[in-house]
């Protein structure tokens, strides 16, 4: 058998063979690793001096599971499959001891469950996270884990995919020993193996254990009910339960066959493709093509935030949550007091919900240093500006920061629309200036757009990307353009939404259609939440800067009525005091109908399908232009922006992956069709779409 020796190591130690997975970064169980394990097992069987086998992993994992990059490729099903490997482990005449450290996930845990004995170092993360990739454990996990740790604990792990620390599983039946000091795992495993090797076989197999539960059917039904509420659009959690149930009712072998069937079906679903796309997209986003991963980073210990408004306060919370001291600057004492009070109120809400301990809240508040003086920013390694969105105001702030900030400090702007290059030019250190565009509420939303100015230094980018991980954000790099990636695209989406009102739809219909597609909130409910005056201000600027760009004026009419959204008690919808429910408004609907009449537009029935196409393809078309211009470096970056910042349904994988799923040929045809209709001037087909469609390709290959 062809064995890639590099992927699996084999050594012997005084009668014990040690098979070491060595496939960085996480010992994924790709074909050569699988073949290497089987070859190692055979070698051990054939060596009379070997009495027992230790199976372990080199580097930073026992194993992160099946190699996800092999899914839906011939390698995934090429022998030895993981099932074959696990059977070889389980059927080994000599006892196999899995020595687990750091990470045993998915197929990695399934492999360990095939071993006769398991030792784990404390602190190891143990999980069957397949459900998060839209699949289920496909190498016996749904059958062996319930037999190892019981029905309830295993179903919780399988359906949630959440990792559990090895020490928490010490008495679960999964491990024969949990080794407190990870450095002692290798020795402990050798000693354990020697003892096991000296014992008469047969050695225990998890598959032969019984699943004991006083009311298995009742608990499975309970799990089903719980999942129904949270996993509406994902088939995998339901299949996880079905597979466990099959094993409980029909025994191990039938359960295993059923699990396999479910795995094969799930791995081909669009939902699984979307989740895998998001998994890799998140990791790919942190890689910038011309900024090598070993670029040195600047040390960031002290942070300054300028502006204690809603954004500034939320931004400050991110850093103090990560244990970093923050100096919060305002111009007036009242504003500073208000900002601090809001931060405290946010934490108090978490304390009330039991999500935060009161003493932790106090520790965090203690990291916050309020000030009215720029001088207090002298020590900051990073200063984030979050002041009023107006270039003149930004200019004052950045000129002042340039005077006080220490050399090498990173100066970041939270601007959502302004030109970062112009902002950088207000300083004598444009290489240190970068955009850090947080999304509201900044302490909650995952997305951080990192805006790379023309002169932003590479180490500044590398530093900010690293910092983003520390504050648990998904950072995506955008070049400088109006609106960056997210808002530039959403503008086209909103334009289409408004045109459709003019042509015959009403706000509630548009919102309903796109929410049914899976968006968290339709454009009109969203606009009422954010404030309709914000879009109005942007459009007023556009009317001057881009007189060629055609907008429906319906939204301006709404604003002229003073209907700015929830904050004024009415926007596209009516609102009642203390109630965020959006009630369709007859005033607004009449206004829309009157507008159509005035504009001599004959209103027509617009289908939900058209609504979804026009909204989503508007995003896709602009996204394609953003790619062509190099504003985003890859399609998955755009998808990450939409998944983490704009409520795009995760199970569809983002606008660009969705376009691939529909097929760019079909996207192109739809865009050409809409371009030939009223308001068609808003549709200028991105050349990239036509090109890729012509080549039969998608944005993601
Ligand atoms: C499975 O097992 C199916 C079976 O039931 C049945 C089969 C028949 N494959 O996250 P990181 C890469 S499904 C390929 O930044 P960390 C990752 O892309 C699998 N690649 O590190 C990244 O690459 P790059 C079930 C993988 O230390 C690099 O490793 N398992 C895999 O923060 C570092 O990743 C899972 O779902 C993989 N399985 O966290 C586990 N895993 O450097 C998924 C990672 O090029 N993985 N990579 O960007 C994780 O949760 C985390 O990666 C882990 C490490 C906790 C392991």
Please name the residue whose Cα sits nearest to atom 33 of ligand 1.
Answer: 25
> What mean pLDDT is predicted for residues 235-252?
97
Q: Are 500 and 462 part of one and the same domain?
A: no
* Domain identity same for 322 and 354: yes
CATH of the domain at 96: 3.90.226.10
For ligand 1, atom 15, name the residue with the nearest CA. 283
Please say if the pLDDT value at position 82 is more than 60: yes
Q: Which residues line ligand 1 (CB under 6 A)?
A: 25-26, 28, 61, 64-69, 82, 103, 105-107, 110, 129-130, 133, 137-139, 141, 280, 283
Percent of the chain with pLDDT over 70: 99
Is residue 701 in some structural domain? no
Res 125 pLDDT > 90 = yes
CA-closest candidate to residue 46, choices 99, 97, 111, 1: 1
pTM for this prediction: 0.94
The DSSP string of 450-518 is EEE-TT--HHHHHHHHHHHHHTT-EEEEEESSTTHHHHHHHHHHHHHHHHHHHHT--HHHHHHHHHHHT
What are the φ/ψ torsions at residue 624 (nearest 5 degrees)? -65, -40
For the chain, the C-alpha Rg in angstroms (whole number) is 29
d(CA 376, ligand 1 centre) in Å: 43
Q: Strands 474-479 and 447-452, how do they pair?
A: parallel
pLDDT at 11 over 50: yes
Kindly tell me the sign of the dihedral angle through the C-alpha atoms of 366, 367, 373, 378.
Answer: positive
DSSP string covering 58-126, please? -TT-SB--S-GGGTTSHHHHSSSPHHHHHHHHHT-SS-EEEEE-SEEETHHHHHHHHSSEEEEETT-EE
CA 65–ligand 1 middle distance (angstroms): 7
Q: What is the CATH number of the domain that holds 462?
A: 3.40.50.720
- Picking from 568, 567, 562, 569, the residue whose alpha carbon sits closest to that of residue 591 is 562
Q: In this structure, is residue 340 part of a structural domain?
A: yes
Q: What is the mean pLDDT of residues 72-92?
A: 96
Ligand 1 atom having least distance to the Cα of 82: 8
Nearest Cα residue to atom 41 of ligand 1: 64
Q: Residues 240, 263: one domain? A: yes
User: Is residue 534's pLDDT more than 90?
Assistant: no
Residues 225 and 82 in one domain: yes
Mutate to test the pocket of ligand 1, among 34, 65, 279 (most ligand atoms within 8 A of CB): 65
Structural domain ending residue among the three candidates 267, 285, 320: 267
- pLDDT confidence band for 535 (50 / 70 / 90): confident
For 50, phi then psi, to 5°, come to -85, 125
- Pair 161, 309 in one domain: no
| pLDDT given for residue 584 in this prediction | 97
pLDDT band at 541 (very low <50, low <70, confident <90, very high): confident
Angle among Cα 471, 472, 475 to the nearest 5 degrees reads 95
Q: Is residue 181 domain-resident?
A: yes
**Which residue in the list 90, 130, 613, 668 is annotated as catalytic?**
130
Answer yes or no: do 413 and 447 share one domain: yes
Provide the mean pLDDT of the chain. Answer: 96
Closest atom of ligand 1 relative to the 283 alpha carbon: 48
* pLDDT over 50 at 340, yes or no: yes
Range of the domain at 145: 8-267
> Across residues 484-506, what is the average pLDDT?
96
Q: Which atom of ligand 1 is nearest to the CA of 125?
A: 55
- Indicate the pLDDT class of residue 543, thresholds 50, 70 and 90: confident
- Using CA atoms, how far apart are residues 350 and 643, in angstroms rounded to an integer? 25
| CA of 76, closest atom in ligand 1 | 8
Q: Where are the beta strands (DSSP E) in 339-403?
A: 368-371, 382-385
Q: Is the pLDDT of residue 229 over 70?
A: yes
- Cα 438 to averaged position of ligand 1 atoms, centre (Å): 27
Q: Would you tell me the crossing angle of helices 333-352 and 310-321 to the nearest 10 degrees?
A: 50
State whether 98 and 125 are in the same domain: yes
Are the beta carbons of 148 and 127 closer than 8 angstroms? no
Strands 177-179 and 303-306: unpaired
Between 230 and 615, the more confident residue is: 615
Alpha carbon of 69 to ligand 1 centroid (Å): 10
Find where tokens 């969705």 sit. 658
The DSSP code for 203 is P
Q: pLDDT (tens digit, 9 = 90+) per residue, 674-693?
A: 999 999 999 999 999 999 99
* Geometric angle at alpha carbon 680, from 679 and 686, rounded to 5°: 135
Residue nearest (by alpha carbon) to ligand 1 atom 32: 283
In the block, residue with structure tokens 């669009």: 270
Q: Ligand 1: which atom is nearest the Cα of residue 128?
A: 25
Whether the Cβ atoms of residue 246 and residue 217 lie closer than 8 Å to each other: no
Alpha carbon distance 470, 476 (integer Å)? 15
Cα(225) to centroid of ligand 1, in Å?
A: 30
**What separation in Å is there between the alpha carbon of 64 and the centre of ligand 1?**
5
Using the atom order of ligand 1, give the atom closest to the CA of residue 286: 48
DSSP state letter for 520: S
Residues 323 and 427 in one domain: yes
35 and 16 in one domain?
Answer: yes
Mutation test of ligand 1: which of 24, 26, 282 has the most ligand atoms closer than 8 Å to its C-beta?
Answer: 26
Residue 85 has pLDDT above 80, yes or no: yes
Smallest CA-to-CA distance from 384 within 325, 331, 455, 328 is with: 328
pLDDT band at 539 (very low <50, low <70, confident <90, very high): confident
**Residue recorded with tokens 């008495």:** 171
Q: What is the DSSP letter of 202?
A: P
Mean pLDDT computed over 236-258: 97
Q: Whose CA is nearest to atom 42 of ligand 1?
A: 25
Q: Do 317 and 214 share a domain, yes or no?
A: no
Nearest CA to ligand 1 atom 24: 283
The closest residue, in CA terms, to atom 18 on ligand 1 is 280
Rounded to the nearest angstrom, the gap between the alpha carbon of residue 399 and the centroid of all alpha carbons in its chain is: 36
CA 78 vs CA 30, 38, 167, 259: distances in Å: 10, 14, 36, 19
CATH of the domain at 502: 1.10.1040.50
Phi, psi of 116 (to 5 degrees): -80, -30
Instruction: Give the distance (Å) from ligand 1 centre to CA of residue 267.
Output: 16
Length of the chain equals 701
Assess whether pLDDT exceeds 60 at residue 4: no
**Per-residue pLDDT band at 212 (split at 50, 70, 90):** confident
DSSP 8-state symbol, 405: S
CA of 264 to the centre of ligand 1 (A): 20
Q: 426-461: per-residue pLDDT in tens?
A: 999 999 999 999 998 999 999 999 999 999 999 999
Q: What is the mean pLDDT of residues 92-121?
A: 98
Q: Which of 153, 146, 90 has its CA nearest to residue 116? A: 90
Q: Which candidate, 540, 553, 543, places its Cα nearest to that of 592?
A: 553
* Residue pLDDT, tens place only, 23-59: 999 999 999 999 999 999 999 999 999 999 999 999 9
Q: What is the pLDDT of residue 2?
A: 37
Which ligand 1 atom is at minimum distance from the Cα of 287? 48
pLDDT given for residue 601 in this prediction: 93
What's the domain count of the chain? Answer: 3
Instruction: Tell me how far the alpha carbon of residue 105 lies from the centroid of ligand 1, in angstroms.
Output: 8
Q: Please pick, among 42, 70, 79, 110, the residue that the annotation labels catalytic.
A: 110
Distance CA 655, CA 612 (A): 12
pLDDT digits (tens, 9 = 90+) for 126-148: 999 999 999 999 999 999 999 99
Q: Which of 34, 68, 280 to mutate to test the pocket of ligand 1 (most atoms within 8 A of CB)?
A: 68
- Mean per-residue pLDDT, 592-612: 96
Residue 5: its pLDDT value, please? 58
Q: Which atom of ligand 1 is nearest to the CA of 137?
A: 5
Distance of CA 529 to the CA centre of its chain: 24
Span 612-627, mean pLDDT? 98
3-class secondary-structure state, position 386: coil
For residue 275, being part of any structural domain is answered with no
Same domain, 320 and 222: no
Distances (CA, A) of 464 to 29, 319, 426, 476, 594: 33, 13, 21, 11, 50
pLDDT digits (tens, 9 = 90+) for 274-330: 999 999 999 999 999 999 999 999 999 999 999 999 999 999 999 999 999 999 999
- Structure-block tokens of residue 652: 């569809």
Domain termination site, one of 267, 294, 312: 267
Mutate to test the pocket of ligand 1, among 21, 23, 25, 124 (most ligand atoms within 8 A of CB): 25
Helices (H) and strands (E) in the chain, counts: 28, 19
pLDDT surpassing 90 at residue 417: no
Residue 272 lies in a domain: no
Tell me the percentage of the chain whose pLDDT exceeds 90: 92
Q: Across the chain, which distance is largest between two alpha carbons, in Å?
A: 93
Residue 490's pLDDT is what? 95
Structural domain contains residue 668:
yes
pLDDT recorded at residue 3: 43
Whether residue 1 is predicted with pLDDT greater than 60 in this model: the reply is no
Q: Is residue 95 part of a domain?
A: yes
Region 173-185: mean pLDDT is 98
Q: What's the pLDDT score for residue 548?
A: 82
Closest ligand 1 atom, CA of 68? 9
End position of a domain, from candidates 220, 248, 267? 267
Would you say residue 509 lies in a domain? yes
Assign 167 to helix, strand or coil: helix
For ligand 1, atom 48, the nearest C-alpha belongs to 283
- Centre of ligand 1 to C-alpha 81, Å, is 18
Coil, strand or helix at 649: coil
Q: Which of 449, 539, 451 is nearest to 494 (CA)?
A: 539
Reduced to 3 states, what is the DSSP secondary structure of residue 209? coil
Annotation says 110 is catalytic? yes
Q: What are phi and psi of 138, to 5 degrees?
A: -110, 10
How many CA within 13 A on the CB side of residue 387? 21
Work out whether the CA dihedral 162, 165, 166, 167 comes out positive or negative.
negative
The residue to mutate among 64, 141, 289, having the most atoms of ligand 1 within 8 angstroms of its beta carbon, is 64
How far is it, in rounded angstroms, from Cα 130 to Cα 82? Answer: 14
Span of 153-157, 250-254, 551-555 with lowest mean pLDDT: 551-555
Indicate whether 313 and 201 sit together in one domain.
Answer: no
Instruction: Retrieve residue 628's tokens.
Output: 């062509």
Q: What is the DSSP letter of 654?
A: -
Q: Atom 25 (ligand 1): residue with closest C-alpha?
A: 106
Q: How far is the CA of 345 from the centre of ligand 1 (A)?
A: 38
């Amino acid at each position: 058998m062809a064995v890639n020796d590099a992927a699996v190591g084999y050594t012997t130690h005084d009668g014990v063979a040690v098979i070491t997975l060595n496939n960085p970064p996480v010992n994924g169980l790709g074909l050569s690793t699988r073949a290497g394990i089987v070859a190692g097992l055979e070698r051990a069987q054939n060596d009379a001096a070997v009495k027992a086998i230790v199976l372990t992993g080199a580097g930073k994992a026992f194993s992160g599971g099946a190699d996800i990059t092999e899914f839906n490729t011939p390698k995934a099903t090429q022998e030895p499959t993981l099932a074959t490997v696990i059977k070889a482990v389980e059927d080994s005449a000599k006892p196999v001891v899995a020595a687990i450290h750091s990470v045993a996930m998915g197929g990695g845990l399934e492999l360990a469950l095939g071993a006769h004995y398991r030792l784990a170092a404390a602190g190891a993360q143990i999980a069957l996270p397949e459900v998060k990739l839209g699949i289920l454990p496909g190498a016996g996990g749904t059958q062996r884990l319930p037999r190892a740790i019981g029905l309830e604990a295993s179903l919780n792990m399988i359906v949630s995919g959440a990792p559990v620390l090895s020490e928490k599983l010490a008495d679960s039946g999964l491990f024969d020993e949990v080794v407190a000091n990870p450095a002692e795992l290798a020795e402990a495993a050798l000693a354990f193996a020697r003892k096991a090797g000296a014992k008469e076989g047969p050695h225990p197999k998890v598959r032969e254990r019984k699943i004991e539960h006083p009311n298995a059917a009742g608990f499975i039904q309970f799990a089903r009910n719980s999942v129904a509420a949270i996993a509406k659009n994902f088939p995998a959690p339901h299949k996880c339960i079905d597979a466990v149930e099959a094993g409980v009712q029909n025994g191990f072998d039938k359960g295993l066959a059923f699990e396999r069937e479910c795995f094969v079906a799930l791995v081909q679903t669009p939902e699984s493709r979307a989740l895998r796309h998001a998994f890799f997209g998140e990791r790919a986003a942190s890689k910038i093509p011309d900024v090598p991963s070993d670029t040195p980073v600047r040390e960031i210990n002290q942070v300054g935030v300028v502006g204690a408004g809603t954004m500034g306060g939320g931004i400050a919370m991110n850093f103090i949550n990560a244990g970093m001291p923050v100096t919060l600057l305002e111009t007036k004492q009242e504003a500073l007091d208000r900002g601090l009070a809001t931060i405290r109120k946010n934490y108090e809400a978490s304390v009330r919900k039991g999500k935060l301990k009161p003493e932790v809240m106090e520790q965090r508040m203690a990291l916050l240093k309020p000030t009215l003086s720029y001088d207090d920013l002298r020590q900051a390694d990073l200063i984030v500006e979050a002041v009023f969105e107006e270039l003149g105001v930004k200019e004052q702030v950045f000129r002042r920061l340039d005077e006080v900030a220490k050399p090498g400090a990173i100066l970041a702007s939270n601007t959502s629309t302004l030109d970062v290059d112009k902002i950088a030019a207000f300083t004598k250190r444009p290489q240190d200036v970068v955009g850090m565009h947080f999304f509201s509420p900044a302490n909650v939303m995952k997305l951080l757009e990192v805006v790379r100015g023309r002169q932003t230094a590479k180490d500044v980018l590398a530093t900010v990307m690293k910092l983003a991980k520390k504050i648990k954000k998904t950072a995506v790099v955008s070049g400088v353009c109006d609106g960056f990636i997210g808002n530039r695209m959403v503008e086209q989406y909103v334009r289409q939404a408004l045109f459709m009102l003019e042509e015959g739809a009403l706000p509630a219909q548009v919102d309903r259609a796109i929410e049914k597609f899976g968006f968290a909130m339709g454009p009109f409910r969203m606009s009422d939440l954010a404030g309709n005056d914000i879009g109005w201000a942007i459009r007023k600027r556009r009317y001057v800067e881009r007189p060629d760009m055609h907008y429906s004026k319906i939204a301006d009419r709404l604003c002229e009525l003073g209907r700015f959204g929830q904050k004024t008690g009415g926007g596209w919808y009516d609102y009642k005091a203390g109630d965020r429910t959006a009630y369709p408004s007859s005033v607004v609907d009449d206004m829309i109908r009157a507008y159509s009449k005035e504009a001599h537009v004959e209103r027509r029935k617009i289908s939900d399908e058209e609504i979804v196409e026009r909204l989503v393809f508007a995003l896709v078309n602009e996204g394609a232009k953003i790619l062509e211009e190099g504003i985003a470096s890859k399609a998955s970056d755009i998808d990450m922006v939409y998944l983490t910042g704009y409520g795009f349904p995760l199970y569809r994988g983002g606008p660009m992956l969705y376009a691939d799923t529909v097929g760019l040929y079909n996207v192109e045809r739809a865009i050409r069709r809409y371009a030939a209709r009223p308001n068609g001037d808003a549709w200028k087909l991105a050349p990239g779409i036509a090109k890729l469609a012509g080549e039969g390709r998608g944005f993601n290959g």
